[in-house]
Structure 1
Amino acid sequence: MISEKLVKVGMADLNTASNGEFLKTTGLGSCVGITLFDPEKRIAGMAHVMLPSSSIARETPINVAKYADTAIPELIKRMLALGAVTSKLQAKMAGGSQMFSLPGHTDSLRIGPRNVESCALMLEEYRIPLLSQDTGGNYGRTIELDSSNGVLSIRSVQHGIKEI
């Protein structure tokens, strides 16, 4: 891939791409990489979601890309500004691993599964179909979305590369 066609998405960040650009984020452990794609306009979006709900935010102003319930609406808004159509959007996601488990600490350490659930609920709210996902497990992932075709490549040390 040519570096000028790469749009990086950092942790608690989001961005859009078109014209054959690639969106890429690394370090998905319990975080979820949620991607949206308009196949007709070939406009793509990616958010690196760290936490399920902005109701726990302590920062002011909040980083909307950090939380599932604020990142997805913001990503949709940015994609619409580029010409995407909400009814055409399709979603894929990866990440949401259970990176740590300690006896007696059930819900507080379920950040990964809760991130996946929150992202899925937001997609339902906007009636955006979730076409595919590679979530769960206990390993990290790097993802890359091709804005020319909506293919999501997922890399992990344990499982190599797969495309969804």
Structure 2
Amino acid sequence: MMIECELCHEWYHGKCLKIARGKVKEDEKYTCPICDWRVKIPRDAARPKLEDLVAWQEEIQTLPFQPEEEELLRKIIDNAQAFRTHIQAYCNPILTTASEAETQRFYLRKIEGAEVLLVHETNFFRQELHKWSPVAPEPPPILECSRSTRKPRPTKLQKMLAQR
């Protein structure tokens, strides 16, 4: 099942947004998390900040062993930094105009779909989109970190205690 945002007309998988097929009515309006910052993007885990990944990579040299994932970590960091460089021109508050809102929305969609959090860019695009086409009465809060939206599951011990 696909669902369309009434504002940007982008289509999303209902499964990706954790929207059950039976919960969506034919005439119901949907606003996506890119257009309305108050709509949560379902995440099973928090995303690490690029800066944290770089710090971890630097710490690898001090470890008494070299993890097998070192090369993978380097590739993830390189890709995230290359993307950051690519969108840097769109993150200048002095040069941006309302005509760039669609481009900003496009890049915010890419950033929000990534497994690495680009804090500055996420905050910049969210603030700019609110400025050009506000949906919420207040601007989005400044994000410092990523959080999981998954409901915490009870541990085995908690389940056992609850059964008593």
TM over 0.5: no
TM-score (norm 2): 0.28
Q: Which structure has the bigger radius of gyration?
A: 2
**TM-score normalised over the length of structure 1:** 0.28
